[in-house]
């Protein structure tokens, strides 16, 4: 055994041992309880970053811990391999995205292996491989058959120069990020998945996910956005000249394309009688309606604009705006009258219709009722355009005035209806019920649920993705690719040039024969959103070797995932899509569970200092923290920082996530090479609890490295006498010294705490417990002075042997290499990962004499030592005799003495 800790050597040996016996191969075994531990798979961007290291270290610690506790653990790994960065890299380097992606996968796989993760690599998958994405296509076709996938036109950002669709984040100030061209909104046909059909279940089942972080559940509920209200209609008649009837907006939503029937109350047209449908959560204010507002895209707006050029211009202006919702929210509210009127469904009064730029076509029916008295936005709109404001809700003692908006105008909890005819004096709930009933009686509306969630548009006008398996035939229309022609293979040798989709230029891909009529036809060139790829990969891991089915019965053994670990940035989309996909798979009879991820851990981000200089002219320069020397005052406060290269000061800009743009990244590869994987792993576990952000610290890494060196050195010193056969059961602990007794007690106390913390995933304090144990062992008499004296007591040897065996097993999930090698070196066994998980010995915690804290009026005043079995009365006596207690009581009458057995006494005077 080398007296020095050489991480390189240790890690090479441990990894070779694991490789030789294929240690992490997971095999289904009905007799054993399974544990499926999964970290979110990476996008193969080039090399691992610290976020990956943290994510996979946390996942690996859990996987190894559960393995040692006896579970049959599956921890697989794969690659989220389709996506835009590969196309960008391809343009920059003139290599096909496929080649770039496969190179990255090879390099990153090597890095993951060097970190020693207990991964079953036989199950590796990459979403860009046909044997994976074939099942995306197959499943899409099944959804198409069931009406869960459909086609409709959708609005996209269109770059007219590159002839390309851009993602929202590629549009900067309304211009394309590459071309600088003004971006147009363009409507093109796209495929959608009917996630809204599962909105209620996706919302309800959040209650089952009790092991998910509360905030993730809240974010999903928010996103799904259920509101309960009333959908009702304002009837109207078009003038005689209007012989073209507007369509109901619902029909534009693709409902007609689907296999489900459109809502029955949609298209009734009797003579020229039409209806303007709106949705409201405040039906109780319906008597206060003084106008209606419709979206620019609303058919009524289109109709009104035919003979009104000013209105047409206004509508064009609205349509030209951004599709980014965050920008919409801050836009100035504008409107213009259509000149049309509709009839109030209950009062029969005439209500003017306006076009409002704040009305969303995509929510509800693209039209709203305007109640200025009780909706803040309507109030300001009415003031701006001098529309009437009619109060219909009152709160006793609160005067209403149209001069300025007041918070209580929108209060639905304390309000009562007034000026509302037969609904007067009703509260919110009764009023909504009564008004909904009134509308229903006239066939003009009823209670309805409205969702914020929209159907999931999956078409991407991009090359590097899974082809959508549809063929466009001039005769037969859109024809699904037959199952026996799957997969539709994506050519891997295209090099995109930034203009349009390279697939569209590939005649060998585009030209095909119609499966239905056999005539020449064109293949769909859109590919699927990469979120489709990641929506079911976790299920695929259960049987990656099965080429004949999407999943097989092995999913029944492994799924659902017991522990999922990943970044909070996926709290909504990825997790929601995966939940949706699971429910559809279940309804198709492929799987039996309702939810894919039982427990979820969202790890925090990795931060580092940001240093910069702002020159008088030119751009800000950022400096890597590794090149900065920080000076501190006597108390350790940061007082200044200089760039090591030139000794000149730099400014500190706080902490931020590691990024290229701020030049504050730390390369994991360098870290591993300098300190070893175990140090890197120990540092990320020890420094912060998993859910918190992790602040990078080179000093902290040093500290972690120091601990592992100390561990190695200590193990080396003890190697001569450590013996797995030394049993604590053979020692009569009542006869050993107090020092030995308390040493063993500290070790078992730390173990107890560590087990508690492991169970609740507070791994940083598990690392602390390991450090405490080493501190105790180093101080244990008989261990540290053995080299000089050779008169080691049996008790000391036993404590050290037992303590090291506990310590190494506790550390095995965190620092597997050094634990594995020391376990062998000290003769505990061949494979620490098969050793039983350590459990504390309750007898070791027992004390003959215990220390009791004594308070006077709740303030700590002293301590007394009493026998562990002392009666309450004796403890009380001892406490009252304690000298500082006597001093603080100072003769005042003792009102009360509280005795907490085994803990404390509080004397109240």
Partner RNA sequence: GCCCGGGUGGCGAAAUUGGUAGACGCAAGGGACUUAAAAUCCCUUGGGGAGCAAUCCCCGUGCCGGUUCGAUUCCGGCCCCGGGCACCA
The interface with RNA within residues 383-442 (CB under 7 A) comprises none
Work out which of 51, 299, 364, 445 binds RNA, going by CB under 7 A: 364
* Of 777, 778, 836, 846, nearest in space to 810 by CA: 836
Quote the least distance from Cβ 602 to RNA, whole Å. Answer: 10
459-481: burial string, b at 16+ Cβ within 10 Å, e else: bbbbbbbbbbbbbbbeeeeebbb
Q: Examine residue 493 and tell whether it contacts RNA (CB under 7 A).
A: no
Contact pattern from residue 633 through residue 672 relative to RNA, giving x for each residue in contact according to CB under 7 A and a dash for the rest: -xxxxx----------------------------------
Q: Examine residue 185 and tell whether it contacts RNA (CB under 7 A).
A: no
Q: Examine residue 903 and tell whether it contacts RNA (CB under 7 A).
A: yes
Quote the least distance from Cβ 687 to RNA, whole Å. Answer: 4
Of 24-32, 759-767, 805-813, 871-879, which segment contacts RNA by CB under 7 A? 759-767
Helix, strand and coil percent figures for the chain, each rounded to 5: 40, 20, 40
Q: Examine residue 130 and tell whether it contacts RNA (CB under 7 A).
A: no
Residue with tokens 């008295």: 373
User: What's the CA gap between 387 and 375, in Å, rounded?
Assistant: 14
In degrees, rounded to 5, the angle at the alpha carbon of residue 267 between the alpha carbons of residues 448 and 344 is: 60
Q: Examine residue 601 and tell whether it contacts RNA (CB under 7 A).
A: no
Tell me if 437 sits within 8 A of 446, measured CB to CB.
Answer: no
Decide whether 326 or 729 has the Cβ nearer to RNA.
326
Work out which of 1, 188, 425, 900 binds RNA, going by CB under 7 A: 900
Measure CA 84 to chain center.
21
Contact pattern from residue 293 through residue 332 relative to RNA, giving x for each residue in contact according to CB under 7 A and a dash for the rest: --x-----------------------------xx-xx-xx
Tokens of 851: 């220390």
Contact pattern from residue 866 through residue 885 relative to RNA, giving x for each residue in contact according to CB under 7 A and a dash for the rest: ------------------x-
SS (H, E, C) 824-887: HHCCCCCCHHHCCCCCCCHHHHCCCEEEEEEEECCEEEEEEEEECCCCHHHHHHHHHHCHHHHH
CB-side neighbour CA atoms (13 Å) of 821: 23
Tell me if 385 sits within 8 A of 360, measured CB to CB.
Answer: no
Phi, psi values for residue 721, rounded to 5° = -115, -15
Of 258-266, 549-557, 789-797, 898-906, which segment contacts RNA by CB under 7 A? 898-906
3 state SS of 375: coil
In sequence order, what are the residues at sequence separation of 6 or more whose Cβ sits closer than 8 angstroms to the Cβ of residue 303?
Answer: 238, 242, 244, 246, 340
Work out which of 155, 181, 323, 360 binds RNA, going by CB under 7 A: 360
Q: Examine residue 568 and tell whether it contacts RNA (CB under 7 A).
A: yes
Quote the least distance from Cβ 853 to RNA, whole Å. Answer: 4
Decide whether 380 or 553 has the Cβ nearer to RNA.
380
Of 11-19, 579-587, 589-597, 684-692, which segment contacts RNA by CB under 7 A? 684-692
Quote the least distance from Cβ 489 to RNA, whole Å. Answer: 35
Q: What is the dihedral of CA 822, 826, 832, 836, to 10 degrees?
A: -140
Decide whether 622 or 707 has the Cβ nearer to RNA.
707
Measure CA 98 to chain center.
28
Quote the least distance from Cβ 544 to RNA, whole Å. Answer: 32
Quote the least distance from Cβ 43 to RNA, whole Å. Answer: 19
Measure CA 573 to chain center.
8
Contact pattern from residue 215 through residue 254 relative to RNA, giving x for each residue in contact according to CB under 7 A and a dash for the rest: x--xx--xx-x-x-x-------------------------
Q: How many residues bind RNA (CB under 7 A)?
A: 91
Residues 833-862 that bind RNA (CB under 7 A): 851, 853, 855, 857-861
Work out which of 699, 729, 787, 789 binds RNA, going by CB under 7 A: 699
Work out which of 448, 697, 742, 847 binds RNA, going by CB under 7 A: 697
User: What's the CA gap between 338 and 355, in Å, rounded?
Assistant: 7
Tell me if 594 sits within 8 A of 205, measured CB to CB.
Answer: yes
Decide whether 131 or 717 has the Cβ nearer to RNA.
717
3 state SS of 736: coil
Largest CA distance in the chain: 113
Q: Examine residue 865 and tell whether it contacts RNA (CB under 7 A).
A: no
Of 24-32, 429-437, 584-592, 707-715, which segment contacts RNA by CB under 7 A? 707-715
Work out which of 494, 528, 677, 771 binds RNA, going by CB under 7 A: 771
Quote the least distance from Cβ 848 to RNA, whole Å. Answer: 16
Q: Examine residue 720 and tell whether it contacts RNA (CB under 7 A).
A: no
Decide whether 524 or 757 has the Cβ nearer to RNA.
757
SS (H, E, C) 522-569: EECCCEECHHHHCCCHHHHHHHCCCCCCCCCCHHHHHCCEEEEEEEHH
Decide whether 434 or 908 has the Cβ nearer to RNA.
908
Quote the least distance from Cβ 677 to RNA, whole Å. Answer: 19
Of 14-22, 183-191, 668-676, 688-696, which segment contacts RNA by CB under 7 A? 688-696
By DSSP bridging, strand 520-523 and strand 470-473 are antiparallel
Contact pattern from residue 71 through residue 90 relative to RNA, giving x for each residue in contact according to CB under 7 A and a dash for the rest: --------------------
Residues 442-481 that bind RNA (CB under 7 A): 450, 452
Quote the least distance from Cβ 791 to RNA, whole Å. Answer: 21
* Of 355, 349, 213, nearest in space to 296 by CA: 355
Decide whether 322 or 546 has the Cβ nearer to RNA.
322
């Amino acid at each position: 055994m080398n007296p020095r800790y050489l991480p390189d050597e240790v890690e090479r040996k441990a990894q070779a041992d694991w490789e030789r016996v294929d240690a992490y191969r997971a095999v289904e075994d009905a007799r054993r309880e399974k544990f499926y531990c999964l970290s979110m798979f990476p996008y193969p961007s080039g090399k691992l970053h610290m976020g990956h290291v943290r994510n996979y270290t946390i996942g690996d610690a859990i996987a190894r811990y559960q393995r040692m506790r006896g579970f049959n653990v599956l921890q697989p790994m794969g690659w989220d391999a389709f996506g835009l960065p590969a196309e960008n890299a391809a343009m920059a380097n003139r290599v096909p995205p496929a080649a770039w992606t496969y190179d990255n996968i090879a390099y990153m796989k090597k890095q993951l292996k060097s970190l020693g993760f207990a991964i079953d690599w036989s199950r590796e998958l990459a979403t860009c491989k046909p044997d994976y994405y074939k099942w995306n296509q197959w499943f899409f076709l099944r959804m198409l058959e069931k009406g869960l996938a459909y086609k409709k036109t959708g609005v996209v950002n269109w770059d007219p120069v590159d002839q390309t669709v851009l993602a929202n984040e590629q549009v900067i100030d309304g211009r394309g990020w590459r071309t600088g061209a003004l971006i147009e909104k363009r409507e093109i046909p796209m495929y959608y998945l009917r996630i809204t059909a599962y909105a209620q279940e996706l919302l309800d089942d959040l209650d089952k996910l009790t092991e998910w972080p509360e905030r993730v559940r809240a974010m999903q509920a928010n996103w799904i956005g259920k509101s309960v209200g009333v959908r009702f209609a304002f009837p109207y008649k078009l003038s005689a000249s209007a012989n073209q009837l507007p369509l109901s907006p619902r029909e534009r939503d693709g409902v007609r394309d689907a296999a489900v029937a459109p809502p029955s109350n949609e298209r009734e047209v009797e003579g020229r009688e039409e209806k303007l449908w709106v949705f409201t959560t405040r039906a109780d204010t319906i008597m206060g309606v003084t106008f209606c507002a419709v979206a620019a895209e609303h058919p009524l707006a289109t109709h009104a604009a035919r003979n009104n050029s000013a209105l047409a211009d206004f509508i064009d202006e609205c349509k030209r705006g951004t599709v980014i919702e965050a920008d919409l929210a801050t836009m100035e509210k504008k409107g213009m009258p259509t000149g049309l009127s509709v009839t109030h469904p209950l009062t029969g009064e005439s209500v003017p219709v306006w076009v409002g730029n704040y009305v969303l076509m995509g929510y509800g029916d693209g039209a709203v009722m305007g109640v200025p008295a009780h909706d803040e936005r309507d109030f300001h709109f009415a003031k701006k355009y001098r529309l009437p404001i009619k109060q219909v809700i009152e709160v006793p003692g609160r005067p209403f005035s149209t001069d300025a908006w007041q918070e209580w105008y929108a209060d639905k909890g304390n309000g009562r209806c007034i000026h509302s005819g037969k609904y007067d004096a009703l509260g919110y709930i009764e009023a909504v019920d009564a008004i909904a009933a009134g509308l229903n009686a006239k066939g003009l509306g009823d209670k309805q649920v409205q969702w914020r969630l929209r159907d999931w548009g999956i078409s991407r006008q991009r090359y590097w993705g899974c082809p959508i398996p549809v063929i466009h035939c001039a005769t037969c229309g859109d024809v699904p690719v037959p199952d026996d022609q799957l997969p539709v293979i994506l050519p891997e040798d295209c090099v995109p040039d930034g203009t349009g989709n390279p697939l569209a230029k590939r005649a060998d891909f585009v030209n095909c024969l119609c499966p239905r009529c056999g005539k020449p036809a064109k293949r769909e060139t859109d590919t699927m959103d990469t979120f489709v790829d990641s929506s079911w990969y976790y299920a695929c891991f259960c049987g990656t070797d099965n080429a004949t089915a999407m999943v097989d019965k092995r999913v029944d053994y492994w799924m659902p995932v017991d522990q999922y670990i990943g970044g909070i940035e996926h709290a909504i989309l990825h997790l929601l899509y995966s939940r949706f996909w699971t429910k559809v798979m279940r309804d198709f009879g492929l799987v039996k569970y309702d939810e894919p991820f039982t427990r979820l851990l969202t790890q925090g981000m990795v931060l580092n200092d940001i240093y910069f200089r702002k020159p008088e002219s030119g751009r800000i320069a950022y400096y890597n923290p590794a090149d900065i020397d920080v000076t501190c005052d006597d108390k350790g406060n940061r007082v200044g920082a200089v760039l090591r290269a030139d000794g000149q000061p730099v400014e500190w800009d706080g902490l931020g996530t590691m990024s290229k743009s701020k030049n504050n990244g730390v390369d994991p590869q360098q870290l591993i090479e300098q300190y070893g994987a175990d140090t890197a792993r120990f540092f990320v576990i020890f420094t912060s609890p998993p859910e918190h952000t992790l602040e990078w610290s080179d000093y902290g890494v040093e500290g972690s490295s120091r601990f592992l060196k100390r561990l190695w050195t200590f193990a080396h010193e003890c190697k001569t006498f450590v013996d797995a056969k030394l049993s604590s059961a053979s020692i009569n602990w009542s006869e050993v010294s107090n020092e030995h007794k308390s040493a063993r007690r500290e070790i078992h106390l730390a173990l107890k705490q560590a087990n508690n913390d492991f169970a609740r995933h507070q791994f940083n304090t598990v690392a602390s417990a390991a450090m405490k144990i080493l501190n105790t062992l180093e101080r244990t008499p008989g261990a540290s002075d053995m080299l000089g004296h050779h008169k080691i007591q049996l008790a000391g040897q036993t404590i050290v042997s037992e303590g090291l065996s506990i310590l190494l097993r506790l550390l095995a999930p965190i620092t597997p290499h050094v634990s594995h090698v020391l376990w062998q070196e000290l003769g505990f066994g061949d494979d620490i990962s098969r050793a039983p998980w350590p459990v504390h010995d309750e007898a070791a915690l027992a004390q003959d004499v215990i220390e009791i804290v004594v308070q006077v009026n709740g303030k700590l005043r002293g301590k007394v030592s009493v026998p562990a079995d002392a009666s309450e009365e004796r403890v009380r006596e001892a406490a009252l005799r304690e000298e500082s207690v006597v001093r603080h009581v100072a003769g005042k009458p003792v009102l009360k003495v509280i005795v907490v057995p085994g803990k404390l006494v509080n004397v109240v005077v």
